[in-house]
Chains A and B, each alone.
Chain A
Amino acid sequence: MKFERIPWHLLIGLILGLGLGLVIAWGIAPAQYSDTPPSILRSDFKDSYRALIASAYASTGDFERAETRLAALEDTNPVEALTIQAQRELADSNIELSETLASLAKAIQDKNSPVEMELTSTPTQTQTPRVTSTVTIIVQGQEETPVPEGTPEAPIATPTEIPINTRTPAPTSTPIPTIGVPYILMTQDEICSENLSEGLLMVFVSDAAQKPIPGVEVIVEWGGNEEHFFTGLKPEIGTGYADFTMQPNQSYALRLATGSTAVANLSTPPCQDKDGNHYWGSLRLKFEHP
């Protein structure tokens, strides 16, 4: 092709026309959206929408409808989104809304982590079963682990008929009941690291398979004060992670709202750097759901 044969006037006309068309279509008069889905709402409007879903759920108890509505928001992790918003509302002293959001988060989490609740019974027992407030549970080879009354979220919440005059047989292949079983404190470590904030109380919550559990409410008490916070608000560290900053020379007690080993006398450990300078260390607690 000879250079002088290129139709420059047509090429330039085409480029100019195409460019002008794109400027108009993308810049001057972009296509107007009028039938948008909730998933592209601005984040604060998404929060309003999500809060309304939780409020409607609190009113009607229609879980499936709430799930369908949440799906329209297309949150990557609805539980996490609800939990984070609940924490923000709690920080803003909107206790009621915070609880409403947390309630829906918990309902979803409970549904997504189905666990079997089968209690052992002796086939030959003939006594009429009676409902009792104490449930016998076999946990990892232990014969009996009575769950005391008043334990939050303990199996007491599930009315179950238990033959109280029949001892549970020794370990069998019966599935381990896990609903409402309290979280167990697996490790408690003092950490001296200059890379961590001083007095950091770090809480890690996971299930038996070491899978982090978000949305678990943690309660810290000290000197008549109490603070509630949730795991999963710092997903960059871990979805089962939550932390709290302790003041030096103050003793704290910690427990999980859904029931756990209560940990008392928590305080910032004193540490020294390599030059002998004093600083406050951190504590790391690991809870596991059996």
Chain B
Amino acid sequence: MSRWLQAFIIAILGLAAGLFYGWRIAPVEYVNTTPDTLNQEYKNEYTLMVAEAYQDHGDLNLAARQLALLGSAHPAEIVQTSLDTADFNEQETEFVTALLDEIEAWQPSLGESGL
């Protein structure tokens, strides 16, 4: 086997080792993340908090702005996803469903940034 081939094979092995180390053993540590990267469990909890707070303030625009932090989808979709994936109890489901009923017809008003 030529020396070049040996060097090439070793380099490929080194590349694999480097990728394994950089992706698995010591991956880049993220800080300053955005809410859309949250684990779905936390997204569900966030949605529930929006629904609970909405029961108090009744401001649909505020609720929509808060939900917009979880992604660019329509707030109703975000709430629906939470309803589908979370294990809410009866009262929590009631809160979230009430929010969903209201927010399904919500449209951002002119001049609203969505955040």
Cβ of A49: which chain B residues have Cβ within 8 Å of it? 35, 46
Q: A36: which B residues are within 8 A, CB to CB?
A: 30, 33, 37-39
**Residue of A with least CB distance to B66:** A52
Given contacts A30-B28, A37-B39, A60-B52, contact A15 B14 (CB under 8 A): yes
Interfacial chain A residues near B30, Cβ < 8 Å? 33, 36, 40
**0/1 interface trace, chain A 11-25, chain B, CB 8 Å (1 if under):** 011111111111111
Interfacial residues of chain B within 1-27, with CB under 8 A of chain A in the complex: 3-4, 6-23, 27
In the complex, chain B residues whose CB is within 8 Å of the CB of A30: 22-23, 27-28
Question: How many Å lie between the Cα of A43 and that of B32 in the bound state?
Answer: 7
Using a CB-CB cutoff of 8 Å, which residues 178-207 of chain A contact chain B? none
**Is residue B101 contacting chain A, with contact meaning CB distance below 8 A?**
no
Q: Contact check, B13 vs A22: say whether CB atoms are below 8 A apart.
A: no
Chain A contributes a number of interface residues (CB within 8 A of B) equal to 42
Q: How far is the CA of A19 from the CA of B17 in the complex (A)?
A: 10
Q: How far is A60 from B95 in the complex, measured between Cα atoms in Å?
A: 11
A30, chain B: closest CB distance, angstroms? 4
Closest Cβ neighbor of B35 among chain A residues: A45
B residues near A111, Cβ cutoff 8 Å: none
The secondary structure that dominates the B interface is helix
Smallest CB gap from A35: residue in B: B39
Interchain pairs with CB closer than 8 A, number? 145
Q: Does any Cβ of B come within 8 Å of A31's Cβ?
A: yes
Do residues A21 and B14 form an inter-chain contact, with CB atoms below 8 A?
A: yes
Closest A residue to B39 by CB, please name it.
A35
Contact of B6 among A13, A24, A35, A56 (CB under 8 A): A13
A158 and B45 CA atoms in complex are apart in Å by 34
Q: Helix, strand, loop or mixed for chain A's interface?
A: helix
Q: Which residues of B contact A42 (CB under 8 A)?
A: 31-34
B106, CB-defined interface residue at 8 Å? no
- A18 near B18 with CB under 8 A, answer yes
A198 to B53, CA, bound (A): 43
Docked complex Cα distance between A37 and B35 (Å)? 9
Chain B residues, CB < 8 A from A10: 6-7, 10
**Are B14 and A14 in contact (CB-based, < 8 A)?**
yes
> How many chain B residues have a CB neighbour from A under 8 Å?
45
Least Cβ distance of A43 to chain B in Å?
8
Query: In whole angstroms, what is the CA distance A273 to B46 when docked?
Result: 57
CB neighbours of B48 from chain A (8 A)? 56
> Is B69 part of the binding interface, using a Cβ–Cβ cutoff of 8 Å?
yes
Q: What 0/1 pattern do residues 246 to 271 of A give for CB contact below 8 A with B?
A: 00000000000000000000000000
CA distance A13 to B5 in the complex (A): 10
Residue A38 lies at the interface, judged by CB distance under 8 Å to chain B:
yes
Q: Is A154 an interface residue (CB 8 A)?
A: no
CB distance from A53 to the nearest CB of B (A): 6
Partner of A20, one of B18, B32, B55: B18
Q: Most chain-B CB neighbours within 10 Å: which of A7, A25, A72?
A: A25
Which chain A residue shows the least CB distance to B22?
Answer: A25
Q: State whether A13 and B22 are in contact (beta carbons under 8 Å apart), knowing that A25-B27, A40-B33, A45-B34 are contacts in the complex.
A: no
Query: Contacts A9-B3, A21-B21; is A40 near B27 (CB within 8 Å)?
Result: no
Whole-angstrom CA separation of A9 from B20 in the bound complex: 23
Asked if B28 and A52 make an inter-chain contact with CB atoms under 8 angstroms apart, the answer reads no
> Given A36-B38, A36-B39, A59–B11 Cβ distance below 8 Å?
no
Nearest Cβ distance between residue A146 and chain B, in whole angstroms?
38
Given pairs A25-B21, A36-B39, A42-B33, 19 additional interface contacts (CB within 8 A): A9-B6, A9-B7, A13-B8, A14-B13, A18-B15, A19-B14, A20-B11, A24-B15, A25-B18, A31-B22, A31-B27, A33-B30, A35-B40, A40-B32, A41-B34, A41-B35, A41-B38, A42-B34, A56-B53
